[in-house]
């Protein structure tokens, strides 16, 4: 079996960039890597993503939102994640079940027990070996996220960026609570600095944590 690693964090924390940099380092070391994201990662799940992140769909009720995430995840796991792991690849995923706990559980304040049951059903028991939580203050993250959205041409995925600061504070607190409850799986990295600073922190946090023959590359690789 392969290795499943997820990246989590609030909007604009830098997790997507850091996941890409890790993918490049692992591939340069000869590892086979599948990089994917949630919601999305395959055609059907991408269509659900378009619904979930479109700000015009602000009328989606929390329960419908939760069920859409579960539907997208079920398709994604069966079509992308499980097959890649069966091939022995390293799978890097931008958000996974922890995002649902943080956003729909703590952010929307839905029942955490129900969310746990849905996550288990949607994943079929697939769980990450390691989760990198890129943490930064909500104000910093939202400023970055909004700047990124303004620079993008085409579909604007900004439904969550339009939520209140209080919502995002609950999400961040939910993530930190998850990390404290699962220290064997989570590594928490300060993402308040620039890309290079955060990359160096990610390498230091992952050194010795990946069950790879050349895990030392994470602490010695040349900065991108």
Average pLDDT of the chain?
Answer: 91
Residue 221 has a pLDDT of 45
pTM of the model: 0.90
Per residue in 145-180, pLDDT tens?
878 777 776 666 677 877 889 999 999 999 999 999
Residue 163 has a pLDDT of 81
Q: Is the pLDDT of residue 216 over 50?
A: no
Q: Is the pLDDT of residue 214 over 50?
A: no
Instruction: Tell me the domains of the chain and their CATH numbers.
Output: 3-211 (3.40.50.300)
Q: Is the pLDDT of residue 91 over 60?
A: yes
As a three-state string, the secondary structure of 131-185 is: EEEEECCHHHHHHHHHHHHHHCCCCCECCCCCCCHHHHHHHHHHHHHHHHHCCCC
Q: Is the pLDDT of residue 212 over 80?
A: no
Per residue in 17-67, pLDDT tens?
999 999 999 999 999 999 999 999 999 999 999 999 998 999 999 999 999
């Amino acid at each position: 079996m392969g290795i499943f690693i997820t990246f989590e964090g609030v909007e604009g924390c830098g997790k997507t960039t850091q996941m890409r940099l890790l993918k490049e380092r692992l591939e340069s070391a000869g590892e086979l890597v599948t990089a994917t994201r949630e919601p999305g990662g395959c055609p059907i799940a991408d269509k659900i993503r378009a619904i979930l992140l479109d700000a015009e769909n602000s009328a989606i009720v929390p329960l419908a939102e939760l069920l859409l995430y579960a539907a997208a995840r079920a398709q994604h796991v069966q079509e992308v994640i499980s097959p890649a792991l069966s091939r022995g690849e390293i799978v890097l995923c931008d958000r996974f079940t922890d995002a649902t706990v943080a956003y729909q559980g703590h952010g929307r304040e839905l029942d955490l027990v129900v969310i746990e049951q849905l996550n288990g059903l949607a994943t079929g028991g697939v769980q990450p070996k390691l989760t990198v939580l890129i943490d930064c203050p909500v104000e910093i993250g939202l400023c970055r996220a909004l700047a990124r959205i303004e620079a993008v041409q085409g579909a604007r995925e900004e439904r969550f960026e339009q939520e209140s600061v209080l919502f995002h504070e609950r999400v961040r607190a939910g993530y930190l609570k998850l990390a404290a409850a699962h220290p064997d799986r989570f590594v928490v990295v300060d993402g308040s600095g620039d890309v290079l600073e955060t990359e160096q922190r990610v390498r230091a946090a992952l050194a010795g944590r990946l069950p790879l023959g050349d895990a030392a590359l994470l602490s010695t690789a040349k900065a991108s």
